[in-house]
Amino acid sequence: MYRTCYCNDIREENIGQEVQLAGWVDTIRDHGGVIFVDIRDYTGVTQTVVHDESMLEGVSREAVITVTGKVAKRDEETINKKIATGLVELVVEKLEVLGKCNSMLPFDVNDKKVKEDIRLKYRFLDLRSKKLHNNIVLRSNIISRMRRNMEERGFLEIQTPILTASSPEGARDFLVPSRKYSGRFYALPQAPQQFKQLLMVSSFDKYFQIAPCFRDEDARQDRSPGEFYQLDFEMAFATQEDVLKICEEVISDVFKAFTDKKVSEAPFKRFTYAEAMMKYGSDKPDLRNPLEICDLTDFFSRVDFPLFKGKPVRGIVANCQGMSKRFFERSLKFATSIGMKGLGYLTLNEGNFKGPIDKFLSPEQKTEVIDLTGMKEGDTLFFICDNKTVVNRLAGQIRNWLGENLEIIDNTSFEFCFVVDFPMYEIDESSGDVVFTHNPFSMPQGGLKALEEKDPTEILAYQYDLVCNGIELASGAVRNHSPEVMRKAFSIAGYSEEEVEKRFGALYNAFQYGAPPHAGMAPGIDRIVMLLADAESIREVIAFPLNGNAQDLMLGAPSEVTEQQLLEANISIRE
């Protein structure tokens, strides 16, 4: 009753046919006696021609209308090759307003300079913009392809609960008060971790879901506050290699389907956590940056340079030919801004070194450092020296700064890698206690023997991350399925057996009744869409996101509730 085809459907072969379109008024252009009205739906735009001005009474931009008329060829001077319907137009014979629009629009839907808070308040208008609309369509298509990929590989889609118990996943829970049980709370799941492991114990061999996850975390450019979605999957009788293979196949297929950029071929490059930190200064290395970090600690232990004595030293070789003195001043300014005391460097120029450290090196040591680092004519070797807890991170930040400022990062590719062999435990800086580094349900490498005999900080876990262009896209692990190993692993992190049974009772109990080895992973959907859409912020690929302060400006959440609601939930507000 409203349309016979979509706005993007009509072509030259439809000339002379009567059609009916429905959509939003995109633009109105009055050419004196002839008025052009572009009508837009989710497929595209069609130009319509109105000769009777009275038809447009009450019609404004963004109003919803339906029009009936005949398709005609455009005049030569009005042909628009930028749109698919640009050779034709619809001569309007009948027009009906289906939804009026307030003529005082808060902003033009295609204006890119509108403040984000205004856009989020009127998100229903914002989503009409072509870019945002296309992002949401892309998101839908990506999720659909993921589902097909998983189903083709024998995975079952199973939904897990949203109301569950609080669990230590590394972030703050969102708590939901119980009406029936005064003083008790549900928690929104930070991840379906325990449920998917219980499904493996229940003999569901391959599980997946497009899982909502809830964490009370602050926003970042690549992290939405409050909630996010992931392709959560788990496999019984599976090893780390089985999981990484599935991840490679599915993620590689999705990226190749939705980008024209180069995509890493499987198998993806693989680094241990220790290698990644040494070579790239990060467990999320951006492999589009060709610069690598080298270890010069041993070399400088034999150099009479007091500032580097007894500390780890890292070096980065970069070709800085043609860079001005100001470039090196800016590099020093950046180094001090991230907490470094300085940034030493040496430049190889016509066979000689130039730089503040040159006078401390003998001729033999200069030759040695060239051999160690592979320096070539015109290269500059930057030095990073600090204590062992921060030196790699600082070197990684210098590497990133050099890559960006020397403009050597390849923006035409998606470079994937796996980072494996994460440490199982670390020392909490504030308390000095031994704590889990990542997922507490992971299997330690070496099993019970490693837990009993090794220093906790030396124990590695079967944990792994998928990284793309410096962004962590997925985390996963081989799970600990042994009650004995679970007890010991948690005891090292300060949990008593009674506490383990209380907090993880279902999982702990289930493992007593025949649990298979199992492993899984969870690629983040929001970040994947953000990369493929080439979006600057993760909010650009979520239909109704919270703002950076975790507020829904459109609906007004978080909001106050009535005294009656508080009473029913057994809650009183503490000032």
Residue 167 has pLDDT above 80, yes or no: no
Q: Are the CB atoms for 519 and 129 separated by under 8 Å?
A: no
Q: Are the CB atoms for 224 and 542 separated by under 8 Å?
A: yes
Under DSSP, the state recorded for 389 is T
Mean pLDDT of the chain: 94
Three-state SS string over 214-231 comes to EECCCCECCECCEEEEEE
Residue 567 has pLDDT above 60, yes or no: yes
Tokens linked to 40: 């837009």
pTM, to two decimals: 0.92
Question: Tokens 């493929």 identify what position?
Answer: 532
CB atoms within 10 A of CB 211: 21
Share of the chain above pLDDT 70, in %: 99
Q: Are the CB atoms for 369 and 375 separated by under 8 Å?
A: yes
Q: How many CA atoms lie within 13 A of 542 on its CB side?
A: 24
**Cβ neighbours of residue 31 closer than 8 Å, sequence gap 6 or more:** none
Instruction: Give the model's confidence band at 349: pLDDT under 50 very low, under 70 low, under 90 confident, else very high.
Output: confident
- Position 170 scores a pLDDT of 64
In angstroms, the CA 373 to CA 252 distance is 34
Q: Residue 448: beta bridge partners?
A: none
What are 229-256's pLDDT values in tens digits?
A: 999 999 999 999 999 999 999 999 999 9
What are 476-507's pLDDT values in tens digits?
A: 999 999 999 999 999 999 999 888 888 888 89
Q: Are the CB atoms for 39 and 7 separated by under 8 Å?
A: yes
Amino acid at 65: I
Note the residue count of the chain: 575
Residue 28 has pLDDT above 80, yes or no: yes
Q: Are the CB atoms for 509 and 172 separated by under 8 Å?
A: no
Q: What element of type H or E holds 22? A: strand 18-30
Tokens linked to 57: 């009474």
Composition of the chain by helix, strand, coil, percent to 5: 30, 25, 40
Domains of the chain: 12-99 (2.40.50.140), 289-409 (3.30.1360.30), 423-458+482-515 (no CATH)
**Cβ neighbours of residue 149 closer than 8 Å, sequence gap 6 or more:** 249, 250, 253, 254
Residue 169 has pLDDT above 60, yes or no: no
- 3-state SS, residue 487: helix
- Position 55 scores a pLDDT of 94
In angstroms, the CA 380 to CA 348 distance is 6
Share of the chain above pLDDT 90, in %: 84
Q: Residue 18: beta bridge partners?
A: 70
According to DSSP, the β-strands at 379-385 and 88-99 are unpaired
Lowest mean pLDDT among 34-38, 301-305, 542-546: 301-305
Phi then psi for residue 116, to 5 deg, are: -60, -40
Instruction: Give the model's confidence band at 168: pLDDT under 50 very low, under 70 low, under 90 confident, else very high.
Output: low
